[in-house]
Structure 1
Amino acid sequence: MQGDFRRILTQANESKGAAALDAIESGLSVPTEGRPAVAAQHLATLAFRFQGENRLDLAARAYDLAARVTPAQAASYRLAAIRTRILDLCRRKMFDPVEGLLQELRAAKAEAGDRGQNDPSLIHIAWDYELAGDAEGAVRSYLLSRVARDLLGGQALTIDGDTLERKIRNLRILQMNALAEEGRHEEAQALHERTRHVLGLGPLRIYDIVSAREAAADGEGEYRELLGPRRITEPEIAFLEGPVALTSSCGSLDAPPQYVARFKDCLTFPRSNIVLQGNRLIYDLAAHPLAGVADIKDGVNPDQIMTAVYGARRALVEEPAETQSLDAGLMMFGLQSKNYGHWLLEFVPRMLWFNDRACPSDFPICIDDHMPETHRQILELLDERDRRILPLSTQAIRFGELGVAPVPTFFPFDSRPGVPVYDAVWPADVLGAMRGVVLERLAARGVDLRPSGRKIVLSRRGFAQRQLLNEAEIIDVLTRQGFEVVYPEKLSFAEQVALYHTANTIVGSASSALTNCIFCNSRARVIALIHEDRSFNFRGYSSMIRSSGADLLFIRGKTVAGAAVHAFHANYSAAPALVLRGLEALSGRD
């Protein structure tokens, strides 16, 4: 009989593996009459072979049989069987039984006295699913990784450094976005429901997307248009190297109307742009005809407090567990409000319209509480009504009445994958009006805005992304040309405006600091240094800077390969000789 056992083992090839194990199981008592430890070792060897052939279901069975053959080593073989079965089920997407097996795994490890690190890496399985584009397989595996972490300890972060909870949430958002874009909002809602309790999230409600104008037209608010829709021109873009074939898409040249609107009984989320009123979501960006190119991103960034997905003129938004209430306010909070460039372009121009008589003077200006002091300084400068500035924490807020005003142009946070980068064009009339008010108010406060002839180079040394890696070399060359180094983030807003307005020449990376060139004098010369990427928003920078009348020249340096970041934020270097050539080219334009 021992010979039959060996013969069955040797015949357990790819086609007969299951049959061989059936035969061994039916005659399980035979090996135990001889040398059970040896028989168990043979079964374990067979299991190892099955693992190598990626037949994990058979390997788990073989380990189980080995545990039954020899009581002395049963605990270790049973442990191997459970581990192998978990791997097998996860790879075959049979996730439901795995949570129970993880409980068994903990008991088996205790019985075997196992303290090793041989447990299945569910995080790596999830990562494999993620790389393969299988979001559901990844979500289910990350959920099980979370159970395994709580039961067994071990890895708390994913391969790319996210927490398990954030990874699950973000993958769910990707899945729900795909469903919403196909108009399958109820399916997306059900998908969220399957995991929201695990993540401590609220249920999702479905809302119709409308613009502020549409919402008011339905009798749900008051809308006062202050500047109508109009056609604007595409800006001139000048490169030192000559014309460059850009790969981005030119933003709309139809500038949207500028208005002030008021809506009652609204639910809002600081750090987000959406306004909920009844069963409608008021959001100009999401309601715009070009919204299909936009990756809106409300709810994806780490500091967001809500989940929202968009598609087919409807949206799903998570209901907050708790809210606070305010009688009234003006909406100066929103996505990326902390970033100076976004703040100056998307938010500050709203104060032009909030100063209109249609806005009651007792409405406080509501801002996100994570914004730097310079942001408040701008508001205090532009506000004509001496309004209170009210910082908001991350808790959802229900306003009795909310005043809203628009972004000057259609400006998506980013373009959707597979769609050319949308290069927004900023209307010179709105930026020029904002510039004029800022300069007028500063002059009234006694700030000296007379031309100084100064030449400044803007340092970006304190920032981690879009670094000019040879900045020190550039600065050394320019200081010998009479330039002074400026760190804008260390200056008050008034000091920054005065510096940019009185300077004759400015050199700096195309970044938030260069956005201040809106305040340049009309004879200023600006050199914008940037990497090679031809999809960069050159039209955006050109339209905003040229709104001041300043002359602008781009110099593209060499992109330096580094960390996996958005192409816009890649580090780069620029040859000092190119910068000197750029200065000569600008001086020759007089």
Structure 2
Amino acid sequence: MRDDFRRILTQANRTNGAATLDTIEGALAALTEERAETAAQHLATLAFRYQGEDSFDLAARAYGLAAQASRARAALYHLAAIRTGIVDRCQRQAFDGVEDLLEALCEAKAAAGDRGQDDPSLVQIAWDYELAGEAESAVRCYLLAQIARDSLGGQVLTVDGDTLERKIRNLRSLQMTALAEAGHHEEAQALHERTRATLGLGQVRIYDIMSARQATAQGEGDYRELVPGRRIAEPEIHFLEGPVALTSVCGTLDAPPQYVARFKDCLTFPRSNIVLQGSRLIYDLAAHPDSGIADIKDGKNTDQIMTAVYGAGRALVEEPAEIRTLEFGLMMFGLQSKNYGHWLLEFVPRMLWFNDPACPAGFPICIDDHMPATHRQIVELLDTRGRPILPLPAQAVRFRELGVAPVPTFFPFDARPDVPVYDSVWPKDVLGAMRRAVLDRLAARGVDLRPTGRRIVLSRKGFTQRQLVNEAEIINALARYGFEVVYPEKLSFIEQIALYHSADVIVGSASSAMTNTIFCNDRARVVALIHENRSFNFRGYTSMIGSSGAEVLYIRGTTVPGEKTHPFHANYTVPPQQVLRGLERVGVGP
């Protein structure tokens, strides 16, 4: 019998594995205790071989037979059988029985006294599914990894550093978005329902997307147009190297109307731009004819308090667990409000329309409470009607009546990965009016805004993204030209505006700090440094700076290789000689 048993084992392979194990199982009862222990060792060896061949179903059964045959090592073989059985089921996408196996695994580990690290990596299996584009299988594995973590102390983070909960939520969002874009909103709603309790999320409802103007046209609010839609010019872009063939797409030159609208009984989410009213989602960007190119981030960013997906004219938004109620408010909160560039371009111009007589004077100005102090200083400076400023925490808010105003242009946070970058063009009339309002208010306070001939170089040393790596070298080269180094983030808003307006020459990275060149004097010369990415929003910066009357010259450097970041935020270097050539080009000498 011993020779027959050995022959059967040595001839076992993936093709005859099931039949071989059937034969072995039938022969185990006839073995003596001593031979049974030997047979168990051989079965464990066979199981290990099957594992190496990715035949986890056969490996699990072989380990199970080894546990059946052995007395001395039965607990260890049983534990190995459960571990390989889990891998087998996950790889075959037979997920329904795995939760029971995880419970059995916990008991088997205790019985075997096992405290090792040999439990199957459900996170790795999930990651493999994710890389293969099989989102549902990845979600199921991550959910099982979550159970394993809570009961067995498994992995806390995924391969790319996300928490399990964040990973599941992100994958669900991708799945739901694909369904929504195909018009299958109810299916997306059902998909969310499967995992929402596990993630601690609320139910989602389906809303029709519309602009503020469309919503009021249906009799659902009050709309006062203050500046009509109009045609604007494409900005002329100047590079030190000469003409550059940009790979981005010029944004619309049809500037949208500027308005004040009021809506009653609205649900809003600080850190986000959407307004919910009844069955409507009011959001100009999502309702825009070009919204298909936009990667709408509301409901996706890590600091947001709800889930939202968009597609085919409708959206799914998670119902909040807790809602605060306010009587009135003006919407100066939203996506990326804490970022200075987004704040100055997307939010601050709204103060022009909130100051208009068409807007009620008694409404408080509602802002996000995580914004830096400079943001609030701008609101206080521009408000001409003595309204209170109300910072809102990350909690859903229902307004009895809410005043809203638009972004000056169609400005997607980001374009979809499969389309060219959309380079928004900013209307000179709106930014110019904001500029004049700020400068007039400062002048009324006695701030000295006279040009002084200063030459400033804007440091980005305190930031990790879009960093000018050889900044110190450039600063040294500019010192003999009379340049002084400025750290804008260390100055108040008023100090920044007075400084920028007084300067005749401004050199710096095309970043948030460059946004304040809106307030420079109309004779200033601006040299903007940036990496070589031809899809960068050069039109956006040019139109923004041009609202002051000044012109900008771009100098493209070289991106630092090997960095994993958004191409727009890559760090880069610029040779000092190029900067000096740029100054000569704009008429600046030592």
Shorter chain as denominator, the TM-score bin is: over 0.9
CA distance in 1, matches of 2:156, 2:50: 31
Q: Secondary structure in 1 aligned to 2:455?
A: strand
- Asked if 2 retains the 8 angstrom alpha-carbon contact of 1:562 and 1:570, the reply is no
Q: Counterpart of 2:18?
A: 18
Spell out, residue by residue over 1:315-340, the C-alpha distance to the aligned partner (whole angstroms, 9 max, x if none).
00000011010000000000000000
The Cα shift of 1:180 comes to 0.5
Partner of 2:282: 282
2:375 aligned residue? 375
Matched residue of 1:66: which SS? helix
CA distance in 2, matches of 1:418, 1:147: 36
Describe the superposition over 1:120-160 as per-residue Cα deviations: whole angstroms up to 9, x where unpaired: 01111111111222211111111111100001113211111
2:52 matched residue in structure 1 = 52
Within a 5 Å distance, the mapping from 1:98-113 to structure 2 comes to 98-113=98-113
Work out whether residues 32 and 69 of structure 1, in 8 Å CA contact, stay in contact via their aligned partners in 2.
no
Q: Does 1:522 align with 2:522?
A: yes
1:144 maps to what in 2? 144
Distance 1:30 1:515 in 2: 85
Aligned counterpart, 2:585: 585
Describe how 1:52-451 pairs up with structure 2 within 5 A: 52-451=52-451
Residue 25 (structure 1) shift? 1.1
| Residue 463 of structure 1: how far off its partner (Å) | 0.5
Write the deviation string for residues 179-209 of structure 1: whole angstroms up to 9, x where unpaired: 1010110010000000000010000000000
Please tell me whether the aligned partners of residues 28 and 36 of structure 2 are also in contact (alpha carbons under 8 angstroms): no
CA contact (8 A) 1:240 1:582 kept: yes
Contact 2:435/2:518 (8 A) holds in 1 = yes
Cα distance between partner residues in 2 of 1:128 and 1:461: 39
CA drift at 1:33: 5.2
Which residue of structure 2 aligns with residue 575 of structure 1? 575
Instruction: Report the equivalent of 1:462.
Output: 462
Look up the equivalent residue of 1:338 and give its one-letter code: K
Aligned mates of 1:478, 1:87 — CA distance in 2: 62
Amino acid at match of 2:461: R
Q: Give the equivalent residue in structure 2 for 1:533.
A: 533
Deviation track 1:387-429 (CA, whole Å, cap 9, x = no partner) reads 0000001110000000000000000000011110100000000
Q: Which residue type is aligned with residue 198 of structure 2?
A: V
Task: Give deviations 1:547-587, integer Å, cap 9, x for gaps.
Answer: 11112000011100243110000000110000000000011
Tell whether the 8 Å contact from 2:329 to 2:366 is kept in structure 1 after alignment: yes
Q: Read off the aligned partner of 1:67 and give its amino acid letter.
A: A
Counterpart of 2:476, as a letter, is D
- 2:558 and 2:33 map into 1 onto residues whose CA distance is 76
Q: In structure 2, what is the Cα distance between the partners aligned to 1:133 and 1:368?
A: 37
Task: Report sequence identity in percent.
Answer: 76
1:221 Cα deviation from its structure 2 partner: 0.2
d(CA) in 2 for partners of 1:230 and 1:81? 72
Q: Which stretch has the larger CA shift, 125-134 or 295-304? A: 125-134
Instruction: Report if the CA contact (8 A) 2:145-2:154 is conserved.
Output: no
Alpha-carbon distance, 1:36 to partner: 1.6
Q: Distance between the aligned counterparts of 2:562 and 2:431, measured in 1?
A: 35
C-alpha displacement of 1:588: 7.4
Tell me, in whole angstroms, the C-alpha distance in 1 between the residues paired with 2:32 and 2:434. 90
SS at 2:359 equivalent:
coil
Distance in 1 separating the partners of 2:567 and 2:183 = 31
Determine the structure 1 residue equivalent to 2:3.
Answer: 3
Q: Distance in 2 between matches of 1:501 and 1:276?
A: 41
Answer with 216-225 or 471-480: which moved more.
471-480
Please tell me the residue identity of whatever aligns with 1:53.
E
TM-score by length of 1: 0.99
**Structure 1: gaps (5+ residues):** none
Give the Cα separation in 1 of the matches to 2:421 and 2:93: 37
Any idea what SS the aligned residue of 1:72 has? Answer: coil
TM superposition shift of 1:37: 1.5
Amino acid of the residue matched to residue 340 of structure 1? Y
State the shift of 1:12 in Å: 1.3
Q: Do the aligned residues in 1 keep the contact of 2:542 with 2:551 (CA within 8 Å)?
A: no
Per-residue Cα deviation, 1:79-119 (whole angstroms, up to 9, x for no partner): 10111011111111111111111111111011001110000
How far, CA to CA, are the matches of 1:21 and 1:145 in structure 2? Answer: 31
**Distance (Å, rounded) in 2 between the aligned partners of 1:14 and 1:377:** 72
Letter in 2 for 1:251: G
Alignment partner of 1:329: what SS?
A: strand
- Aligned counterparts of 2:531 and 2:311: Cα–Cα separation in 1: 34
8 Å CA contact 1:2–1:30 kept in 2: the answer is no
Judge conservation of contact 1:32–1:70 (CA < 8 Å) in 2. no
Structure 2 CA distance, aligned partners of 1:195 and 1:151?
19
Distance in 2 (alpha carbons) for counterparts of 1:436 and 1:99: 64
Query: Are the counterparts in 1 of residues 247 and 535 from structure 2 also a CA contact under 8 Å?
Result: yes
Partner-residue secondary structure (3-state), 1:220: coil
User: Is the 1:562–1:571 Cα contact (8 Å) retained in structure 2?
Assistant: no
Q: Give the partner amino acid of 1:223.
A: Y
Q: Which moved more, 1:129-138 or 1:69-78?
A: 129-138
SS of residue paired to 2:116: coil
| Counterparts of 2:469 and 2:305, CA distance in 1 | 35
- Residues 455, 504 of structure 1: 8 Å contact kept: yes
Check the 8 A contact 2:229/2:254 in 1, yes or no. yes
Aligned to 1:42: 42
| CA distance in structure 2 between the aligned counterparts of 1:525 and 1:215, rounded to whole angstroms | 44
Give the AA of the match of 1:215: A
In the aligned structure 2, how far is the partner of 1:151 from the partner of 1:15? 37
Distance 1:463 1:130 in 2: 32
Deviation at 1:10, TM superposition (A): 1.9
Structure 1 CA distance for aligned equivalents of residues 69 and 563 of structure 2: 53
Residues in 2 aligned to 1:221 and 1:292: alpha-carbon distance in whole angstroms:
26
How far has the Cα of 1:8 moved from its partner? 1.5
How far 1:231 moved relative to its partner? 0.6
Letter in 2 for 1:49: R
The two structures, once aligned, show a CA RMSD in angstroms of 1.0
> How far has the Cα of 1:34 moved from its partner?
4.8
Whole-Å Cα distance in 2 between the matches of residues 32 and 259 of structure 1? 91
What CA distance in whole angstroms lies between the structure 1 residues aligned with 2:202 and 2:403?
Answer: 27
Distance apart, 1:30 and its partner CA: 2.5
Which whole-Å deviations, capped at 9, do the CAs of 1:514-538 have from their partners, x for residues lacking one? Answer: 0000011111000110011111101
Amino acid at match of 1:495: E
Return 270-279 or 41-50, whichever deviates more.
41-50
Distance 1:528 1:70 in 2: 75
Secondary structure in 2 matching 1:301: coil
SS at match of 2:321: coil
Name the aligned partner's letter for residue 27 of structure 1.
A
User: Which runs of 5 or more residues in structure 2 are unaligned?
Assistant: none
